[in-house]
């Protein structure tokens, strides 16, 4: 089996996690000359329209989308996407002070401790350095890159 890369995008609401995933998926699937197989997983069933937004992107690009609501679903989704070179995971945004949401992401991470999943912290560009540091501090419990 080929080497695959699994990346989980985390961060506050509205920073561009979903949009970044769509752009990276298009780049990996169509722009790099290798036509990599790309799959997308969403853990965000909270935000209104979150799943629909990703469905629209994945339908246009003809990429598989898996909607996950618990750790067991995540294992099944990863198995369904086992032939993908890149698996991009969207997470629910929230305040950097909402430790329950951060803990929920951590539960997925702990459940899959054997699998290397890179956590990418997506940050807003319009926040002062002190705000960025606060966001980083609270999300750093997830061992982000």
**3-state secondary structure at position 75:** helix
Residue 119: closest CA among 98, 105, 129, 107: 105
Extract the tokens encoding 78: 């990863």
pLDDT of residue 62: 93
pLDDT of residue 88: 95
Residue 91: closest CA among 145, 54, 138, 61: 54
pLDDT of residue 65: 94
Averaged pLDDT, groups of 10, the chain, 145 residues long:
79 87 91 85 74 85 90 87 93 70 69 77 89 84 72
62: burial class by Cβ within 10 Å (0-12, 13-18, 19+)?
Answer: exposed
51: burial class by Cβ within 10 Å (0-12, 13-18, 19+)?
Answer: middle
The residues, any chain, with a CB within 8 Å of residue 5's CB and separated by 6 or more, are 85, 86, 87, 118
**3-state secondary structure at position 108:** helix
pLDDT of residue 145: 62
Residue 121: closest CA among 47, 15, 44, 27: 15
């Amino acid at each position: 089996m080929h080497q695959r890369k699994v990346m989980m995008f985390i961060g506050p609401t509205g920073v561009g996690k979903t949009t970044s995933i769509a752009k990276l998926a298009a780049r990996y699937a169509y722009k790099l000359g290798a036509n990599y197989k790309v799959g997308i997983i969403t853990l965000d069933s909270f935000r209104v329209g979150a799943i629909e937004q990703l469905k629209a992107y994945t339908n246009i690009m003809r990429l598989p989308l898996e909607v996950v609501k618990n750790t067991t679903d995540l294992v099944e989704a990863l198995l369904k996407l086992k032939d993908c070179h890149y698996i991009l995971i969207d997470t629910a945004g929230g305040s950097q002070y909402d430790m329950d949401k951060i803990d929920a992401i951590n539960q997925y991470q702990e459940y899959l401790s054997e699998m290397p999943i890179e956590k990418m912290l997506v940050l807003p560009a319009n926040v002062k350095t002190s705000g960025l540091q606060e966001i980083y501090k609270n999300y750093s419990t997830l061992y982000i890159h």
